[in-house]
Amino acid sequence: MNYADIAQSWYPLATSQSLKPGTSVQVEAFGRRLVLFRTRQRQLGLMQRNCVHMGGDLSQGAVTDTGIRCPIHSWEFSTTGQITGNARSDTGKAKSPCQTAIVCQEANGVIHGYFGDSPAFDLPTAPTPVLTSSVYTSDVPMRYDIPTIFGFDTEHFETVHKRGVDSLTVYQNHKVHLGARVHASVNGRRFGDRIMRALGMRSIELDTDFWAANILFGQHRQTNTFVFISGMPVSEHLTRVYASVMQERPSGGVVKQLIGRLRFAMARPVIRAFISQDENALSGVRFDPESPYILYDSAIYQWLDHYKTLPRLSDWRAEEK
Ligand code: FES
Ligand SMILES: [Fe+2]
């Protein structure tokens, strides 16, 4: 796979739950062999897997209170790749070797690494204390940027999701961000659609924020439900999708809290069903942004113009390992 044209961004590597303190996992990302670990003091580290000294496999070593220790000669590295213990410097040649580290961040139940120059944005999160669902992952046969492209395709709301778009306003507040506020009516005949209408939700108001080309943060404004989706290219036409759902943490008396928890329990399957409509429809899509046949709405043009300006991995001057 040629990674040069991939946008610089945070890319999901593992769920928070899968990485306990004091453990590590092997990660392959953009042709790099990496190790992701969580120290016993809970800091995250992501670095080149083979030790800078003589190539030991750090993922076979021990994760310590504040770093990771190579299994071969016990050099120990901090989460930023600095040597913190046991380096022999008596030859004078290897005084301050440093393991190449990549910045990582945890949000919405998922751990991401930033592939690119220094991070252009923080991962989006909900503004209030929230309940976070378990993370749903799936491998979808599509390019990693297809969900963002189709996020601005109003016609698919109608055909795939059975939502009539009443209005869509595109807004931009950052060079790698484009968002849209959508008002849509719930037209479908699916069970979930009927339930929504029965509950009086005939129209929905949605904010969808797209970051770089692989991150979506959505907010269903009526229920203050948030959805976070990020995608990792496994190969050119295969993407590992991570999705989680957040809702404001219920407060108040026992009954209020119980209703809040129940509402939260209902949100995840509804959103998962919505996402799987996209997964089914977008599986196997081959999209050509230069095609002369992209004829319909202006939103998709705005996205494509914006998309062309995103910094790419080919502009990233990081040392290749
Ligand atoms: S190979 Fe890692 S310390 Fe020597
Ligand atoms: Fe969709």
Q: What is the CATH number of the domain that holds 89?
A: 2.102.10.10
Judgement on whether residues 151 and 241 belong to the same structural domain of the protein: yes
Judgement on whether residues 106 and 144 belong to the same structural domain of the protein: no
Tell whether ligand 1 has an atom less than 6 A from the beta carbon of residue 75.
yes
Judgement on whether residues 134 and 243 belong to the same structural domain of the protein: yes
DSSP of 20-87, one letter per residue? -TTEEEEEEETTEEEEEEE-TT--EEEEESB-TTT--BGGGSEE-SSEEE-TTT--EEETTS-EEE--
Judgement on whether residues 74 and 139 belong to the same structural domain of the protein: no
Q: What is the CATH number for 250? A: 3.90.380.10
DSSP state of 135: P
Could you list the pLDDT tens digit for every one of the 321 residues in the chain?
778 899 999 999 999 999 999 999 999 999 999 999 999 999 999 999 999 999 999 999 999 999 999 999 999 999 999 998 776 655 445 556 689 999 999 999 999 999 999 999 999 999 888 899 999 999 999 999 999 988 888 888 889 988 889 999 999 989 999 999 999 998 888 877 787 788 777 888 999 999 999 999 999 988 889 999 999 999 999 999 999 999 988 888 999 999 888 889 888 888 888 888 999 999 999 988 888 888 777 888 899 999 999 999 998 866 554
Instruction: Report yes or no on 317 lying in a domain.
Output: no
With b meaning 16 or more CB within 10 Å and e meaning fewer, what string describes 154-188? bebbeebbbbebeebebeeeeebbbbbbbbbebeb
Judgement on whether residues 111 and 146 belong to the same structural domain of the protein: no
Give the environment of ion ligand 2: residues with CB less than 5 A: 278
At residue 193's C-alpha, the angle toward residues 188 and 196, to 5°, is 140
Residue 132's DSSP bridge partners are 246
Q: Can you give the residue range of the structural domain that contains 187?
A: 130-307
Considering its fold, how many domains does the chain have in total? 2
Q: Give pLDDT, residue 22.
A: 98
Instruction: Report yes or no on 315 lying in a domain.
Output: no
pTM of the prediction? 0.92
Judgement on whether residues 161 and 235 belong to the same structural domain of the protein: yes
Q: Which ligand is nearest to the CA of 70?
A: 1
Judgement on whether residues 205 and 256 belong to the same structural domain of the protein: yes
Tell whether ligand 1 has an atom less than 6 A from the beta carbon of residue 70.
yes
